[in-house]
Homo-oligomer: A and B are copies of this chain.
Amino acid sequence: MPDSQRMFANADGSRHLLGLQGMHPTRIEPFLDLAESYVLLNRQRKTQRDLLRGRTLINLFFEDSTRTRTSFELAGKRLGADVINMTVSTSSVNKGETLLDTAATLNAMRTDLLVVRHAQSGAPALLAQKVEASVINAGDGTHEHPTQALLDALTIRRRCGSLAGLVVAICGDVAHSRVARSNIHLLTAMGSRVRVIGPPTLIPAEIERLGVEVFHDMDQGLDGVDVIMMLRLQRERMTGGLVPSAREYFRFFGLDAARLARAKPGALVMHPGPMNRGVEIDSQVADHPEQSVIQEQVEMGVAVRMAVLDRLSRGQDRTDR
């Protein structure tokens, strides 16, 4: 494997969670199974503080994200870890070097679990090569956001029983979405059939290689699907010329009740949040009492992150430590 690829890889048996590409279902399922038990624990408003007592979890966020950071912070605290937030501006120069120095600093501080979000694809993998901590990728550039895909999978599995055989449509700005990439890897591994839907400017070339079907027409793409995953449209895309306007975008690629009706009756509506209501999704659909599982996704997020922290810290998942 060339070095450039290794940076993005998440070899089986790794003590890190850097991405889901190439991960076998037998490694994915234990995360989901364990997360189930944490859903129960959280609903009973119980905690399990002995699990990570004395361990140090650092939330190293080079991009600000209140939701994801809070979700990991809650997960860590409910398992008893010492949680430290480090929000770092990347406005400084020499980023590459600084990242390695940051890794050395984190080692010297005896960090056990390191949650990293970074604007550059591969940054968590680079850190993982240098730190003694278990690294969890909380989103890197346009690469991966594995805990998001795991929480999405858990949400679907709880509703549909299994991922195998389902048809899942991922809609919107697939080209810039790490959420889309992680979901494609996980869903195809678990036996779902994945469609991506969006304007040609927002669908990456040759994405079919990942085993997905491409649609540029929303009505066609949604035809008969079991699950609709909407992606957030970053405002930069609109000002950057890739999308004509929010109004135009919604007209062609927004999800409203009429479009939802194209999917299988009872199809699930998902969104990683925060939503741009009226841009990629209509409020009526976002708040659909039976079909929208958007709030459930947030709940599964905390449970999945507890499961990930649990497994990685237990050492059950470590071979190179």
Contacts and interface: CB of A to CB of B under 8 A. Distances in A.
Q: How many copies does the complex hold?
A: 3
Interface residues of A, number: 48
Interface string A51-88: 00011101000000011001101100110001010111
Given A98-B274, A101-B274, A298-B105, A74 B46 contact: no
B45 A112 contact: yes
B302 A109 contact: yes
A277 B84 contact: no
Given A101-B275, A109-B299, A82 B78 contact: yes
B54 A46 contact: yes
A66 B299 CA distance: 29
List the 4 closest pairs (A to B, CB-CB), nearest first.
A108-B298, A108-B299, A77-B82, A104-B295
Interface string A87-123: 1100000100110010011011110100000000000
Contacts of A94: 276-278
Nearest to A66: B86
A42 interface: yes
A101 B286 CA distance: 10
A296 interface: yes
Nearest to A87: B66
Given A54-B47, A84-B70, A84-B74, A110 B294 contact: no
A110 B45 contact: yes
Contacts of A43: 110
B67 A105 contact: yes
Nearest to A88: B66
A283 interface: yes
Contacts of A297: 108
Nearest to A271: B101
A57 to B, nearest CB: 11
A97 B279 CA distance: 13
A22 interface: no
A60 to B, nearest CB: 9
Interface string A18-59: 000000000000000000000000110111000000111010
A273 interface: yes
A54 B74 CA distance: 11
